[in-house]
């Protein structure tokens, strides 16, 4: 019955718009990059507007790091249970670790957000704009970075109030911002990748909680790597959070580290994360 239909009017059967032929001119070579930057800037702008409209999350998210620094940090500084390098107070050693932890917790939320956006139809609407999948993911990743920078500023101030001897060198602080953005972008892409596999909010909440603490404890955020048992050291070596913490320690409290290695690992992880998450994105849109 419907088989009669394919004999559609012949008018358009000789399709005049062969891909890349007679249509609009092909994109200039740098158009893709420009679009990527433009989309990332746009999604970061949205994030800043959201933070401006509602600052409560900024305060509620400051509570947990404050507890870590105030209670855990102060206590362990007093009992000298953890031998940290260069004879610095434990609280100083801990502060960059907590900074990295709180950006990790922010970033992990973005996978839940993208599933929420899928359920609400927001994701479909975004994907019907001329925005490549990778630009959408990168934009969300760097938006997580923007939120993390604002959060990081709160924690840096808090640490300074608690007497952590941190640098005031603006170049170092700029470096901190870069590392925080890279770390958040990676972990939010990790979270969005998991979202592309888990596909439901409940499942993702479970997975998110199941991985954040292991990521945190298997990093050098709370204790130096050389105090860990061998197997944990091996995990820490492949845990990007360790490189984020090392870089932050190097920049903030001058604990020697290979900054180029740290930044390189984080950049590589971020690029890999964006790639994997954008490959999994169509699964969410189905």
Partner 1 sequence: MQSHGTDQPRSAPTLAVDAVRCAGLRYRFGAHVAVDRVDLLIAPGETLGLLGPNGAGKTTTIRMLTTLLKPDEGTVTVFGVDAAAQPMRVRRLIGYVPQSLSADASLTGWENVELFARLFDVPRHVRRRRVAEALSAMGLAEAAQRLVKTYSGGMIRRLELAQALVNAPRLLVLDEPTVGLDPIARADVWEFIAGLRRSSQTTVLMTTHYMEEADLYCDRVALMHHGTLRATGTSDELKAGLGEGATLDDVFRHYTGGTLDDDSEQGGIRDVRRARRTARRLG
Q: Which residues bind partner 1 (CB under 8 A)?
A: 1-6, 8-9, 11-12, 15-17, 19, 23-24, 35, 38-39, 42, 45-46, 49-50, 53-54, 119-122, 124-132, 285-286
Closest approach of partner 1 to the CB of residue 53, in Å: 6
Query: Measured from the CB of residue 44, what is the shortest distance to partner 1 in angstroms?
Result: 11
Structure tokens given for 37? 């930057």
Cα atoms in the 13 Å half-sphere on the side-chain side of 286:
10
CA angle 193, 251, 90 (to 5 degrees): 95
Shorter beta-carbon distance to partner 1: residue 247 or 281: 281
Three-state SS for 208?
Answer: helix
d(CA 155, CA 121): 35
Question: Of the two residues 136 and 247, which places its CB atom closer to partner 1 in the complex?
Answer: 136
Of 35 and 203, which has the nearer Cβ to partner 1? 35
Q: How far is CA 254 from CA 35, 221, 225, 247, 249, in A?
A: 38, 15, 17, 9, 6
Contact 146, 188 (CB under 8 A): no
Q: Nearest approach, Cβ of 155 to partner 1 (angstroms)?
A: 23
Return the number of the residue (122 or 261) whose C-beta is nearest partner 1.
Answer: 122
Minimum distance from residue 18 beta carbon to partner 1 (Å): 9
Residue nearer to partner 1 on the CB measure, 18 or 168: 18
Cβ-based nearer residue to partner 1, 2 or 168: 2
Q: How far is the CB of 127 from partner 1 (least distance, A)?
A: 6
Residues 248, 253, 255, 258, CA torsion sign:
positive
CB of 31 to partner 1, least distance (A): 10
Helix (H) or strand (E) holding 101: helix 90-120
Cα(268)–Cα(217) distance, rounded to whole angstroms? 22
């Amino acid at each position: 019955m419907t088989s009669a239909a394919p004999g559609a009017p012949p008018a358009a059967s000789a399709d005049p718009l062969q891909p890349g032929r007679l249509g609009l001119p092909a994109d200039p070579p740098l158009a893709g990059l420009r679009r990527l930057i433009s989309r990332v800037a746009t999604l970061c702008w949205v994030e800043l507007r959201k933070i401006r409209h509602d600052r409560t999350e900024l305060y509620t998210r400051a509570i947990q790091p404050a507890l870590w620094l105030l209670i855990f940090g102060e206590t362990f500084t007093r009992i000298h249970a953890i031998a940290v390098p260069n004879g610095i107070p434990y609280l100083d050693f801990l502060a960059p670790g907590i900074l990295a932890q709180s950006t990790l917790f922010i970033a992990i939320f973005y996978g839940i957000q993208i599933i929420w956006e899928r359920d609400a139809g927001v994701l479909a609407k975004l994907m019907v704009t001329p925005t490549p999948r990778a630009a959408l993911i990168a934009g969300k990743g760097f938006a997580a970075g923007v939120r993390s920078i604002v959060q990081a500023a709160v924690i840096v101030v808090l640490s300074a109030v608690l007497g952590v001897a941190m640098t005031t060198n603006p170049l170092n602080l700029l470096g901190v911002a870069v590392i925080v953005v890279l770390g958040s972008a990676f972990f939010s892409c990790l979270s969005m990748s998991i979202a592309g596999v888990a596909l439901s909010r409940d499942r993702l909440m479970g997975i998110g909680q199941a991985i954040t603490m292991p990521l945190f404890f298997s990093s050098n955020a709370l204790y130096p790597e050389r105090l860990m048992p061998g197997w944990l050291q091996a995990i820490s070596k492949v845990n990007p959070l360790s490189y984020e913490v090392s870089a932050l320690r190097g920049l903030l409290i001058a604990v020697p580290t290979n900054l180029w290695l740290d930044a390189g690992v984080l950049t590589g992880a971020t690029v890999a994360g964006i790639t994997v998450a954008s490959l999994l994105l169509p699964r969410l849109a189905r």
